[in-house]
Chain A
Amino acid sequence: MNKPTTHQTPDSTRLDPFEQQLARALRRVDVRADTARKFLALAAEAEQTRAAQGSGPRLVKLSNGGRVLAFPRLGPHARAWGTGALAAGLLLSATLGGVHLEHRQQQVRAEREFQAAERIENRTLQQIRQQVEQAGIPLD
């Protein structure tokens, strides 16, 4: 799979001596053992990251020292379900909020009507009382 380092490919036969020397100078370099270990550690690290991402929200340290809560990236199906659930929640909240508001408005209207009726009744009673007193009829 890797290209051979000897550059003995058919194409290299068309290289002039300087180019051949350049090709030899630019052979792929061997990766040092510690570098290879770093690369292979990526595999384990990537797997851990994937596992952590699947387990729920986690704190991520920023370069400036701060921390933010990071939520796992959702797959397309989860995103679709999440969007639907969010929309349904908003719709339910709006509906319930509307019903509650209407009940509150009806309550206020009823209170006002009751207070108005009470005032009218008091005024009527007062007038009757005055008329009775003027007629000289004792009320007690």
Chain B
Amino acid sequence: MPFAVTEFRRLIEQHQRMVFSIALRVTGEYGTAEEVAQDVFLELHRGAHKLESEDHIRFWLRRVAVHRATDALRRAARQPATDAEEWLETDFAPPGPAAPVPPAVEARLEDLLQSLPEPLRVAIVLRYQEDMLPDEIAALLNQPVATVKSHLQRGLQLLRRKAATTLKEYVRE
């Protein structure tokens, strides 16, 4: 049996930023993220009786948000055409010492995130938006920790490379 409306409202208010932000960063589109978040909360309403604690609810919400967002992404076939492997093998030079990035580029990083292939994007969002550790991400996505670490490493490499290019163009402007 679904739980009380007041409890449902409380959970929505408490977790809407997390769920919506995951959906937005994975799908890259506000309207789609709204729909995804609504689906997630409806599913929460139907299945909340099985959730045992606040931690369990947060874990469940993150997992379902990622799954629903990637489903929406696949349905819309909005994945970037660029293949991460091609980038890394043909165009990527290993980064030197990490240089500070001007604040203006922070705004561009969010856009650059959308150019990453879906698995890398999801790992980056969970690591840097949700501040989750690789083993926590692995448990959430039901993937080996090594896979998650590889996705994070490749995602970061791509973002550094693209951010460096964007930074040059930004400075020239």
> With A29-B24, A47-B5 known to touch, is A2 a contact of B14 (CB < 8 Å)?
yes
> With A1-B58, A18-B101 known to touch, is A42 a contact of B41 (CB < 8 Å)?
yes
Minimum CB–CB distance for B108 against chain A, Å: 8
Q: A39 to B37, Cβ gap below 8 A?
A: yes
A12 interface residue, CB < 8 Å from B?
A: yes
Which B residue sits closest to A27, measured CB to CB?
Answer: B129
> Interface digits, B105-116 against A, CB 8 Å rule (1 contact, 0 not)?
111011001000
A140 interface residue, CB < 8 Å from B?
A: no
Q: A22 to B41, Cβ gap below 8 A?
A: no
B159 interface residue, CB < 8 Å from A?
A: yes
Q: Which residues of B contact A12 (CB under 8 A)?
A: 131
Q: In the bound complex, what is the Cα–Cα distance between A28 and B21 (angstroms)?
A: 5
A16 interface residue, CB < 8 Å from B?
A: yes
B29 interface residue, CB < 8 Å from A?
A: no
Q: Which residues of A contact B5 (CB under 8 A)?
A: 43-44, 46-47
> Interface digits, B35-51 against A, CB 8 Å rule (1 contact, 0 not)?
00110011001000000
Q: Looking at the complex, which one of B1, B12, B21, B103 makes contact with A43 (CB distance below 8 Å)? A: B12
B: interface residue count bin: 35 or more
Minimum CB–CB distance for A38 against chain B, Å: 7
Q: B100 to A28, Cβ gap below 8 A?
A: no
Q: Looking at the complex, which one of B2, B9, B17, B37 makes contact with A30 (CB distance below 8 Å)? A: B17
> With A28-B21, A31-B17, A39-B12 known to touch, is A22 a contact of B131 (CB < 8 Å)?
no
Q: B2 to A50, Cβ gap below 8 A?
A: yes
Q: A26 to B25, Cβ gap below 8 A?
A: yes
Q: Looking at the complex, which one of B109, B129, B131 makes contact with A9 (CB distance below 8 Å)? A: B131
Within 8 A of B (CB), among A1-52: 1-3, 7, 9, 11-12, 16-19, 21-31, 35-36, 38-40, 42-44, 46-47, 50
Q: Looking at the complex, which one of A9, A26, A31 makes contact with B16 (CB distance below 8 Å)? A: A31
Number of A-B contacts (CB under 8 A): 108
Q: Is the interface of B mostly helix, strand, loop or mixed?
A: helix
Which A residue sits closest to B57, measured CB to CB?
Answer: A1
Q: Which residues of B contact A40 (CB under 8 A)?
A: 9, 12-13
A binding-site residues for B, Cβ under 8 Å: 1-3, 7, 9, 11-12, 16-19, 21-31, 35-36, 38-40, 42-44, 46-47, 50, 75
Q: Which 10 A-B pairs have the closest CB atoms?
A: A25-B109, A28-B21, A26-B129, A25-B106, A16-B98, A23-B128, A46-B45, A17-B100, A28-B17, A43-B8
Q: List 30 A-B contacts (CB under 8 A).
A: A1-B54, A2-B14, A2-B17, A17-B98, A18-B100, A18-B163, A21-B101, A21-B103, A21-B106, A21-B109, A22-B159, A23-B129, A24-B106, A26-B124, A28-B17, A28-B21, A29-B17, A29-B20, A29-B21, A31-B16, A31-B20, A36-B13, A39-B41, A40-B13, A42-B42, A43-B8, A43-B45, A44-B5, A46-B2, A50-B2
